[in-house]
A and B are shown apart, each in its own frame.
Chain A
Amino acid sequence: MNNALSPVQLILNASLPVQIVFLILLLASVVSWVMIVQRWLVLSSANKGVLSFEQRFWSGIDLSQLYQEGTQMQKEQVQVVGLENIFRAGFKEFMRLRQQQSVDKEALMEGAQRAMRVAYSREEEKLDRNLAFLATVGSVSPYIGLFGTVIGIMEAFIGLANQAQATLQVVAPGIAEALFATAMGLFAAIPAVIAYNRYSASVDRITGAYITFSDEFSSILHRQVHTD
């Protein structure tokens, strides 16, 4: 009696449809938080990767030496991510085409740029992954919660109809239980929406950095091709 309105009691006393709604929302919340944390790890590592690789790239290091370092890292089972992948794809393609004497300068540039574009698409896909899920949770879970609330309030009123004396105490637990569904929906949705907005901005920034870098790198390659 004392804790009739505690969340645990509310969930346990709820009717089956409302309990299913609670379960769905809890799952959505947990999974969206898994996504939030995972995206945060991926995006912050990508961000750091961009900064550290740009620093190394512009430190005046020899490009083939930079490529060798990357190969070494792959041998040590360390993942190569982000900008370095784009650089490696472009550089590898450029060196390969350059070894073939028949390839002209335009085709050489084009091949390197295409390889970088492909690597860029892969990297972007890696960054974008799961963001759609966050967007879905953010937009749908309030509706699921609302659905639970409507069902719960309907049941509360049906129960009220059977009462001779319509007092607030009769409907209060049912309505509290119903509103708890909305609360859970919002609880799942709010972090998901915030994370989605933040991460999509972050992805935009990082992909912008990738595009800028690949343009810069291809201009370096272009200079190299035409100075020969």
Chain B
Amino acid sequence: MSNTFNNMVIYNGYPLSIVIAITFHSLVLAALLYLQTNNRIEALDLIQPTVIKALLIDENPQVRNEQILERQRLERIEDQRRQREEQARREQQQQEEQQRAEAERQRQERERSALLERQELERLQAEQLRREQEDRETEDQRQRELAAEQERQRQAAERDRQEQQVVAEAAAAEVARTEFELVQSATGLIQQVVQENWSRPPSARNGMRVLIKMSMLPTGEVIDVSITETSGDAAFDRAAETAVYRAAPFIELSVLPINIFNDNFRSLTLIFQPEDLLN
């Protein structure tokens, strides 16, 4: 009789069986993990993020406004510079003309005096010469004074204008700051709501881009949505359009001051551009 088998079956073979069963399961688990680690290298490009983040790029009206303001300011400065140059040129011209006229007049005077001289003899010559000289001197002085006065006035006006400009700019910046915050929060809100309502079609691909122009009433109601730049995919365009309609109305906009609304939200362009799709 085989003693080894008899010994194995002591306690009906349970200890050995337990050891074998547990070893077997451990091996299976180890094999599974091993295969998984090997697969992981191949599957690396298939790995997907669990969280899908829809990205909505908004053409910020505030930035646009700032750009416009900046452009206007530059234009103003340019204008002023041109005006100043123009004025300087005009003044110079005037002076030159005056000088020319003076010279002409003097020449005529001299001719006339020469004539008189010739007509009235030596007696008058000395006196006339003296009077002429006096006249010329007073005239010169008068002109110099006039020019100086004009220059002074011009400088004062320039200074005044500059001061006014600085004050106006500071005030505009102050207004723009509070406006900026309001616009920013309203824009963020619109962006968020639209994004929540945006369900992208299966045909959506990264880099697709559709520009949606929406017109709103001050109550936040959307009266018109139009596609200004299509992505080339009709379903994608439609999804963006639907997102805006679904998100409407933006009741929060009704609390904005009307001028801010008019400047920024009367007509708003949204860019829909997914950048996180996996395809």
Contact = CB atoms under 8 A, between A and B. Distances in A.
A49 interface: yes
Contacts of A42: 9, 12-13
Nearest to B5: A45
B126 interface: no
B40 interface: yes
Interface residues of A, number: 37
B49 A79 contact: no
Given A2-B47, A169-B52, A34 B21 contact: yes
B47 A78 contact: no
B182 interface: no
A94 to B, nearest CB: 22
Contacts of B50: 4, 169-170, 173
- Chain B interface mostly helix, strand, loop or mixed? helix
Contacts of B9: 41-42, 45, 79, 81
A38 interface: yes
A9 to B, nearest CB: 9
Contact of B2 (A1, A35, A48, A73): A48
A33 interface: yes
Interface residues of B, number: 37
A29 B27 CA distance: 13
B278 interface: yes
Contacts of B6: 45, 78-79, 81
A33 B196 contact: no
Contact of B14 (A6, A34, A53): A34
A8 B36 CA distance: 10
Nearest to B277: A167
Contacts of B13: 37-38, 41-42
Nearest to B200: A165
A52 interface: yes
A41 B8 contact: yes
B44 interface: yes
Contact of B17 (A3, A41, A167, A172): A41
Nearest to A78: B6
Contacts, number: 97
A149 B112 CA distance: 125
A4 B3 CA distance: 51
B40 A2 contact: yes
Given A30-B22, A33-B24, A33-B25, A4 B17 contact: no
Contacts of B200: 165
A169 B279 CA distance: 12
Given A41-B8, A42-B9, A165-B54, A30 B25 contact: yes
B278 A169 contact: yes
Nearest to A9: B36
Interface of A: 1-4, 6-8, 26, 29-31, 33-38, 41-42, 44-45, 48-49, 52-53, 73, 78-79, 81, 164-165, 167, 169-170, 172-173, 187
Given A41-B17, A79-B6, 14 more contacts: A6-B33, A6-B37, A7-B32, A30-B21, A37-B17, A38-B13, A41-B12, A45-B8, A52-B2, A53-B1, A73-B1, A78-B3, A81-B6, A164-B199
23 contacts: A2-B47, A3-B36, A6-B37, A6-B40, A7-B33, A7-B36, A29-B25, A30-B21, A33-B17, A37-B17, A41-B5, A42-B13, A45-B6, A48-B5, A52-B2, A78-B1, A79-B10, A164-B196, A165-B199, A169-B48, A170-B52, A172-B48, A187-B28
